[in-house]
Amino acid sequence: MMIRIGKENLQSEFVKLVERISGEKLANCYQCGNCTGGCPVSYAMDYGPQEIIRLLQLGQEETVKNANSMWICVGCLQCYQRCPKSVSAANILEALRLLTLRKGEDHDNIKDLPFQFLKEAPQQAIICGFRKLVA
């Protein structure tokens, strides 16, 4: 099956759902790489923001679902600020997180966090971290 990349040619229901939740149009991304170049945590991701968008454009849903990128993104919006087409990879990664959490799956088990960490970590850090774990 050949998928042509264009605003009206992204046929995957999963991609349509990601676009609806994120408010972004994946076809607007032309793979310049500014998002990944400015991402402060792209070094820790399986696939950088640019690659995640490209994988979605190509219909590689399973690869995207199994990547750790959605869980690593800190939501700083540097990707959006650097994008010449105003595509927010952070919004797309957030949509992927929400879709996973809505299925009752997650990346980390909250119960596995050490009590000492919870006791000493800044409250804001804990709240921001748990934001990723709540649908």
pLDDT tens for each residue of 23-60: 999 999 999 999 999 999 999 999 999 999 999 999 99
pLDDT tens for each residue of 101-134: 888 776 666 666 677 776 777 766 666 666 665 5
Range in 3-17, 19-33, 53-67, 91-105 the model is least confident about: 3-17
Please give the pLDDT value at position 9: 47
Please give the pLDDT value at position 102: 86
CA dihedral defined by 43, 100, 88, 47, rounded to 10 degrees? 30
* Residues 55, 31: Cα–Cα separation, whole Å: 11
Domains, the chain: 13-106 (1.10.1060.10)
Name the pTM for this structure: 0.76
Please give the pLDDT value at position 128: 66
